[in-house]
Every structure is written in structure tokens, then in C-alpha cells.
A = this chain, B = another copy of it.
Amino acid sequence: MIEKGRLIVVSGPSGAGKSTVVFKAINGRDKMCFSTSVTSRKPRPGEVDGREYFFIDAARFEQMVQNDELLEHAVYVGNYYGTPRKFVEDKLSAGESVFLDIEVQGARQVKEKMPDAIMIFLIPPSLGELKKRLESRGTETEETIKGRLARAREEYAEADFYDYIVVNDDIDTAANELLSILTAEKCRFAARRQMLQE
């Protein structure tokens, strides 16, 4: 019998480095993957369809919502984002742990639908540092950055349903904390109870 994988939800302000930290954590490791979301937003330079996201149009997205093909979905800065349910369930059944990079609204939906999901809130060392990181991307207007910082403050206030907080000051440390959390959760009494009944 294959041990089922775990679902790990990673949220946090845009610019905190969620993707970077998760990719660092899963790089070269078996049975771990990053979920690929669907979105109606336009690809950024360098983004590849099916890698960063499945890029679809708003009409197709709305159809997926109606067909219950999404584990969660949200609107963010005018675009749809969602997690394809079948993608996640197939991976978990095959024993892979799946990382989801989604924001707070979506995370709450996942927690309701999959109460065993491990909820991690990933933050930058400070909001000042976050501003710097967003500016250095060079792809965001000043107004967008302001919006993202305001949204970050809202997210901090709504984050109390997460299980863990990881601070991305150093990428290796943050990636190691993600992996430690996954390892620890697999050792949870409830997850291993049957081992006491040989």
C-alpha cells in the first residue's frame, strides 16, 4: 500500500518568495511536487504555460468553477487563480506531497475541503524588505506595489488559521523549515497511531 502524500498550502504576501523557497525545498527530492495552478492573468516575461501556471481565459476559468474542477479559486488584482482538483488528488494518491502556492482566501477554502492540509504562512523579514523586493523585480508599477503592500497587511490580519509561520530571510533556512514541517507532520501521533498496533 502506498502511503498517501500530504498537501502543504503555502501562502504569504506576493514578493515574499513563496515559489523560490518551495522550489528550493523540493529540488532533487522524491515524492514532492509543486501544484500548477490555472490562472486567467497574462503570463509575465519568462513564464511558460504549464510550468508557472496553466494560462487560460476567463470564460474557460468560469466553466471550471461551474464544473467543480477546482479545489479553490480566488480573484486577485483582477485575475482568477485556481487549483485543479484532479491534479492534486492524483498526486496525493500516488504518494507525492503537493505544495500549493495560494493566497489567503483560497487557502481557507482548501482548509475547509481538506482539513488535513498543512497550512504555512510565509513572510518576508519585514514589510520594508517586501517593498524593496517588489521594486527590484522591475515588473510592477508603483501603484501595483502599493496595492500589494496594502493586501499584505490585510493578509497578516487574516492569517490566524495557519498552522505555521516561516520567515524567508535566508532561502536555505526557509526551505529547510518547510521540509522540517513536512517531516514533523508525518510523525504526528494521529498519522502514525496504527504503528502502535502491530
Contacts and interface: CB of A to CB of B under 8 A. Distances in A.
Interface of A: 120-121, 123, 126-127, 156, 159-160, 162-167, 176-177, 179-181, 183-185, 187-189, 192-193, 195-196, 198
A123 B188 contact: no
Nearest to A127: B198
A195 B164 contact: no
A121 B193 CA distance: 11
B196 A123 contact: yes
11 contacts: A123-B195, A162-B189, A163-B189, A164-B187, A165-B192, A165-B193, A167-B195, A177-B184, A180-B180, A180-B184, A181-B184
Contacts of A177: 183-184, 187
Contacts of A159: 189, 196
